[in-house]
Structure 1
Amino acid sequence: MFQWITEMVAAGGYAGIFALMVLENLFPPIPSELIMAASGFAAARGQLSMLLLLVAAVGGTLVGNIFWYELGRWLGVERFRPLVARWGKWFAVEVEDLDRATAMLKRWGPFAICIGRMFPGVRTLISVPAGMVEIPRGVFYLWTALGSLVWLTFLAYAGYFLEDHYDRVEKWVEPLAWVVVGAALGAYLAHLAFAFRRARRRRAERR
């Protein structure tokens, strides 16, 4: 997997990195950790400019999150809540999660957006409630870009400095990537089981 991502990043160049980061923030097919590590490898080999790849990565991240932010702003909390109540369990999101996210954003605002960029799952989901509570667009764009720049720079330079140890890195990143995918799938299935069990219990209590 890691070898394939590295080759794809090098072949696609900056446009490829931009597109991958847009997709990663819309519906993550490949974690940004792997995309940026592979980009750092390519930069260490002289195939890409570190500055330009970071511009492309942050730009793609911003575009992907703008989609979710504008969707949340258009829906609003009250229109979104019934959708979460009915369909949220399929996407590992429930009304309680929505309430916690909106409360956190109302209290912490820009800080929560910036720090949230560094946590898988949170970094995409936080954009929807940010739009719903109508955090100003300029504030959202600025702090999303800043938080993303810090995190993506760290990941890219990690890949850059590990290039000399490519063989060893590939040996442990490859199985680790599949472990992460397996853990994410297992967590999702466990969440579904819990969500459906809780839904049945609530229906029984209403009778």
Structure 2
Amino acid sequence: MTDTIFALVTTYGYAGVLICAYLSCLFVPVPTSLMMLAGGALAASGDLSVSLLIGAAFIGAVLGDQTGYFIGRRFGRRALIHLSRAPARRKIIQRAQKTVDDRGGLGVFFSTWLVAPLGPYVNVVAGAAGLKWYRFTIADVLGEAMWVNIYVWLGFAFAGSLALVAELVGDVMGLIAALVTAAIAGLWITLVLRHHRAADKAKTESASSETFGSPPERTI
């Protein structure tokens, strides 16, 4: 399988990676993640440019996600009903709907790289649910940038052990997801604490001004 992926990347180059990334975001089961790993390995050996490889995969993925979003925006419930005809897909769409309803843009972000098989369904559901385009796009761009860079640089760093990396990549993604979640939680806690401190400071200053304010004018 790895040899086949290497042959595909070598034959079709950046255009092949771009097209595969686009199609993988539109329910077509192509091994884009493995292609990015292989592309990273080829970039490590000097056969490909790592920047062009990342750019091609990123552009293809974002265009695919945007296409899925506007399919959902244009056809709405009809698109979801059509996709739900297969029982297996029905369960995935229900999960995608819960992801968008519960987490909004954050759900889109994680679906692009942490649970990539869910991503194409989240794109359509987000469009059908009326998630704001700018929120979808910001989450999509950030998520796809992470997805592409993780796989390409893993392939680049472990070019000699690509098969092993392909087997362990799920564990790596889980670790990265845990770190990202912890970072987001830490940022949220920091912002909440700052807000509370600012509110307490404002209350203290208000109380001080009432206590030590200028005395009332004496009337004669």
Q: TM over 0.5, yes or no? A: yes
Question: In 2 relative to 1, CA 131–3 (structure 1 residues): closer, same or farther, beyond 3 Å?
Answer: same
Q: Secondary structure at the match of 1:158?
A: helix
Q: What is residue 65 of structure 1 aligned with on the other side?
A: 65
Q: TM-score, normalised by structure 2?
A: 0.67
Letter in 1 for 2:101: K
The unaligned stretches of length 5 or more in structure 2 are 168-220
Does 97-106 or 116-125 show the bigger shift? 97-106
Q: 1:29 deviation in Å? A: 3.4
**Aligned pair in 2 of structure 1 residues 84, 7: CA closer, same or farther (>3 Å)?**
closer
Distance 2:30 2:81 in 1: 30
2:149 pairs, out of 150, 153, 158, with: 153
Q: CA deviation at 1:138?
A: 2.4
Letter in 1 for 2:157: F
Any conservation in 1 of the 2:158–2:165 contact (CA below 8 Å)?
no
Q: CA RMSD in A?
A: 2.3
Following the alignment from structure 1 to structure 2, what is the Cα–Cα distance between the partners of residues 97 and 4? 29
Q: Structure 1 residues 100 and 13, CA, compared in 2 at 3 Å: closer, same or farther? A: closer
Which of 113, 119, 124 matches 1:123? 119
Once the two structures are TM-superposed, the CA of residue 82 in structure 1 deviates from its matched residue by 4.4
Q: Confirm or deny: 8 A CA contact 1:37 1:158 kept in the other structure.
A: yes
Alignment of 1:113 onto 2:104: no
Q: Aligned partner of 1:88: which letter?
A: A
Aligned to 2:139: 143
Give, in whole Å, the separation in 1 of the partners of 2:61 and 2:97: 21
Deviations 1:139-176 (A, max 9, x none): 2222112101112211111111111x25xx44x579x6
- Calculate the TM-score normalised by the size of structure 1: 0.70
For 1:115, give the aligned amino acid.
F
- Alpha-carbon separation, structure 2, partners of 1:105 and 1:123: 11
C-alpha distance in 2 between matches for 1:30 and 1:80: 22
Give 2:86's aligned residue: 88
Could you give the per-residue CA deviations for residues 67-99 of structure 1, whole angstroms, max 9, x where no partner exists? 22111111223x3454456x132xx222x6544
Aligned AA for 2:111? G
Instruction: Give SS of 1:117's match.
Output: helix
**TM superposition outliers: structure 1 runs of 4+ over 3 Å:** 79-85, 96-100
Q: Could you say which residue in structure 2 is the equivalent of 1:203?
A: none
Hey, what does 1:43 align to over in structure 2? 43
User: Contact 1:2–1:173 (CA<8 Å) still a contact in 2?
Assistant: no
How many residues align? The count is 166
Alpha-carbon contact 2:17-2:35 (below 8 Å) kept: yes
* Unmatched segments (≥5 aa) in structure 1: 177-207
Q: 1:41 and 1:81 mapped to 2: Cα distance?
A: 38
Identity %: 27
- Aligned counterpart, 1:193: none
1:3 maps to 2:9: no
Distance 1:31 1:81, change over 3 A: closer
